[in-house]
Amino acid sequence: MKGFKGFKGIVEIMHLIPGRVRFLVPTLKNEPDKCKQLKTQLEKAEQINGITPNPITGKVLIEFDKDHIDVETLTGVLVKLLGLEKSIEKSPNSMLTKELKDLFKSLNTGVYEYTNGVMDLRSLVTTSFIGFGAYSMIVKRNLMPPGLNFLYWAYMNLQKP
């Protein structure tokens, strides 16, 4: 139990004492019907002594029999009942990755509009690498400058879904 915090942004443990846990579940925010349904389903379990979901804050207070169920299991139950399995399986993206992807989307749109749809950022980068590669091989008798390799790898890494 020590160290387990749930799943950030999906089902997070906000506060925990033996037999009582408060979760933050953002998908419950402004969803009174989901909260009511969750309460109805969890009240059926013998190990649950009380449940108080709050649709205003998206928090859920659960009182439980600590001798028969643990917080990890409760977290799993919440994930399953709310259908959040796919959210957990997604690979998280850092804020920097999101900002860089937004930057590349903006650049892509800019190149596309500037060339009237002839090129986008991907085709511009591809043709540039072909040109630099040919220049390096023919004129400099070198395969490819290392700096361009890193730029290419960074660009391709950001293009992954």
Q: Could you please report the per-residue DSSP string of 96-145?
A: HHHHHHHHHHHHHHHHHHHTTTS--HHHHHHHHHHHHHHHHHHTS--S--
The yes-or-no verdict on residue 3 having pLDDT over 70 is yes
Average confidence (pLDDT) over 9-22: 94
Q: Is the dihedral of CA 17, 18, 20, 24 positive or negative?
A: positive
CB 26 within 8 A of CB 58: yes
Q: What whole-number distance in Å separates Cα of residue 23 and Cα of residue 13?
A: 5
Q: What whole-number distance in Å separates Cα of residue 157 and Cα of residue 161?
A: 9
Question: How far is CA 53 from each of CA 4, 40, 115, 141, 155, rounded to the nearest angstrom?
Answer: 21, 11, 54, 69, 44
Please give the pLDDT value at position 1: 46
Please give the pLDDT value at position 69: 92
More confident residue, 81 or 4: 81
Instruction: Considering the chain, tell me which residue range(s) the CATH 3.30.70.100 domain(s) occupy.
Output: 6-89
The yes-or-no verdict on residue 134 having pLDDT over 60 is yes
The yes-or-no verdict on residue 144 having pLDDT over 60 is no
Average confidence (pLDDT) over 8-31: 94
CATH 3.30.70.100 for the 6-89 domain, yes or no: yes
Residues 35-76 pLDDT 10s: 999 999 999 999 999 999 999 999 999 999 999 999 999 999
Q: What whole-number distance in Å separates Cα of residue 84 and Cα of residue 75?
A: 11
Q: Which residue has the tokens 């928090």?
A: 59
CB 32 within 8 A of CB 20: no
Question: How far is CA 64 from each of CA 18, 39, 48, 69, rounded to the nearest angstrom?
Answer: 9, 13, 4, 7
Entry pTM: 0.59
